[in-house]
Amino acid sequence: MKTRLGVAAFCGCLVLALAVWPSLAQGPHPAVLQLDVWRKAVVAGDAQSLTPLYANSARIVGPKESASSVASEIAYWTGWQAKGLKSISAEIEGTQEPQPGFHVLSIQLTLVASESGTPKRYFIKIAQGYAEQNGVWKIAAEQREEATRLKGPAAKKDLYPVDANAKQEIEEALHTAAKSRKRVMLVFGGNWCYDCHVLDAAFHTPEIAPTLNRNYVVVHVDVGEYNKNLDLAKKYEVPLERGVPAAAVLDSDGKLLVSQKNQEFEKARSMAPEDILAFLNKWKPTAVQR
């Protein structure tokens, strides 16, 4: 059965699939099997294998909802071969079936590319809408976000509880830091802030967590709708008007060592792990430098 979906409905479904973090798909679906075929073709850089996986009239939406074409999308994926692509893993974060014969997958891709002999990971969120055509499931719609070096979170966390007492938490963190010879990092943000969740997820990765945990005590300071803990932002010289997340580093005696004034973490999704490590290593306690 050939299924058509209007442009507005298509965009709405894919935007929803990318924005919502639902549970994993329950049980196999032909679209999932086709996704694995697609993944292997991308790894191989095989345009001839990729082309028949897309419907001729497939609607393609690139980063920032820019319109694209099947040919351009295939060229994008096969272009990763020139970047040293070695492998791709696909994590299905959610599924939707807005109408019979049309199945949407929300996918987190992890790409490993070798650059000058050094493996680097990239992350891309995509949504693919599969339509059944003459008994074959093909990609009838695809929406892709920009590749990033940090992975977007699969689920939101309550990083900034509404009932948290930031001043008290800072005092407790300073006490802990003094005993353990660490510094305190204040991360100003809010639960609504996607980049705040990206930054926190990065803090828990194997590349970053050891350096962070060995040298810092982290306190999340809730800014609400830019109407909360403004006195703390002023005290620690954090210009909230430039966006969040924004960090300030304190010595264990409470002295302000640095505050971000140039949006260093504000676009966390566009950062690389080495960017965060450079900041952490620059401001970690001298006594525990290795």
Q: H or E segment at 250?
A: strand 246-250
Give the Cβ contact number of residue 116 at 10 Å.
Answer: 6
Using only C-alpha atoms, the chain has a radius of gyration, in whole angstroms, of 22
Tens digit of each residue's pLDDT (9 = 90 or more) over 85-119: 999 999 999 999 988 889 999 999 999 999 888 89
Domains and CATH numbers, the chain: 7-144 (3.10.450.50), 166-288 (3.40.30.10)
pTM, entire model: 0.78
Tens digit of each residue's pLDDT (9 = 90 or more) over 127-146: 999 999 888 999 999 999 99
* Residue 287: Cβ-neighbour burial (10 angstroms; 0-12, 13-18, 19+): exposed
Alpha helix (H) residue ranges in 113-255: 166-180, 194-203, 209-215, 230-235
pLDDT surpasses 80 at 74? yes
Query: Is residue 13 classed as helix, strand or coil in its secondary structure?
Result: helix
| Sequence-ordered list of residues with C-beta below 8 angstroms from that of 127, at least 6 positions apart, any chain | 13, 14, 17, 18, 104, 105, 106, 107, 141, 142, 143
Residue 2's pLDDT is 34
Quote the Cα angle for 44-45-47, to 5°.
Answer: 120
Structure tokens at 96: 């939707």
pLDDT surpasses 90 at 7? no
| 97: Cα separation from own chain's centroid | 24
Tens digit of each residue's pLDDT (9 = 90 or more) over 164-182: 999 999 999 999 999 999 9
Residue 68's pLDDT is 94
